Structures are given as structure tokens and as C-alpha cells.
Amino acid sequence: MFTRALWQGLAAGTAGGVVMTLGEKIEQSVTGRPDSHVPARVLQRLTTMPERPGRQPVAVNWAMHFGQAALLGIVRSAMAHAGLRGPAASAQFAVIRLTNDQILENATGVGAPPHTWPRTELVVDILHKAVYAFATGAVADALAARDGPGPGQRHAALRPGRRPHAGPLPRKEAHGR
């Protein structure tokens, strides 16, 4: 399961990153908002690359932007393989994506806590990360569905609804595919 989740997650996360980037470019063409150089600055600090003021190299910006998107896709793919699929799982994943960004940006000193941001910037960031999460989720769910229901879905099918005394799946049925 985890081998499939790895490669499928990289694919799903990359696809989600592409969809998010296209949405960002459309939004920027309408709003006039400039490109963010936060991803490049975070990567520079994480890797001790030299920093420079102003506009950052596009390759460094995109390496962090798409690298982070691809790597986090593994988490969403693992969720899908476990049986956490659909819009509710993608909403959970959106929180993971936003949290990951904030940990890296704040820990490196590149960003500030979201509650200190102008509201319009916060809304735009949440919107784009939600687009990423739902696009990544759609791809991860479709790829995982090729293997059938995940263990969580099989467990839920034993006794639909949240009920006591359902007990776990037998061990051989949990990941035996």
C-alpha cells in the first residue's frame, strides 16, 4: 500500500500543484497581485542557499512550490489508500497543506502567522491551497480506487454508521491487497 501511495501521491500532488498554479495565474491576471517569492525564500533558508533581496530566481521558487506540492501529495494518497476519500478527506488535507506552509514559513522567519495578514491575502491563500487540496484529492482518490476500497471503507461497510462493538477488520483483511 505504501509503495503505491508514494508514487501515486507524487503524481497527485504534482497535478494539484499544476492546477493551483493555473488558478493563481488566472487570479493574478484579474487582481494584478504579483508573484510570491516566499517559496524561494523558504527553500533558501532550509537549504542554506545564498539569499538575495527582491525578486527570487524562478527555478528556486518553482522547486519549492512544486516540490512541496508533490511531497504533500503522498500524505493525501496515503489517506486515500487507507479509505479516507472524497470531499471531506480533501477538506482535512487542505488544513494539512496550510499547516505545512505555516510551519515552514514561520520556522524559517520568512512568514508571519496568518492572523497578522491582511484579510484579502489570507482569503487568496486559503482559496489557492483549497484548490490544491481538492485537485490533489481527486487524483489521489481516483488512483487509490483502482485498488478497491481502503481498510477504513471496508471496516465501515461491516456495520454502516458509527456504532459500538463493530470491532476491527481481521488483520489479514486490513492491508492484504
Residue-level pLDDT at 166:
67
Instruction: Concatenate the DSSP letters of all residues of 6-38 into one string.
Output: HHHHHHHHHHHHHHHHHHHHHHHHHH-PPPP-H
Mean residue pLDDT of the chain comes to 92
Inform me whether the pLDDT recorded for 160 exceeds 90: no
Q: Are 14 and 125 in contact (CB under 8 A)?
A: no
pLDDT band at 168 (very low <50, low <70, confident <90, very high): confident
| Alpha-carbon gap, residue 35 to 39, rounded angstroms | 10
Q: Which of 36-40, 157-161, 173-177 has the lowest mean pLDDT?
A: 173-177
What digits encode the pLDDT tens for the residues 90-139? 999 999 999 999 999 999 999 999 999 999 999 999 999 999 999 999 99
Inform me whether the pLDDT recorded for 18 exceeds 90: yes
| Alpha-carbon gap, residue 13 to 137, rounded angstroms | 8
- Residue 65 makes CB contacts below 8 A (sequence gap 6+) with 17, 21, 39
Of residues 150 and 83, which shows the higher confidence score? Answer: 83
Rounded mean pLDDT, 55-79: 96
Of residues 61 and 53, which shows the higher confidence score? Answer: 61
- From the centroid of its chain, how far is CA 38? 17
| Alpha-carbon gap, residue 164 to 170, rounded angstroms | 17
- From the centroid of its chain, how far is CA 78? 12
In the three-class reduction of DSSP (H, G, I as helix; E, B as strand; rest coil), residue 162 is classed as: coil
Residue-level pLDDT at 159:
65
Inform me whether the pLDDT recorded for 170 exceeds 80: no
Q: Are 72 and 13 in contact (CB under 8 A)?
A: yes
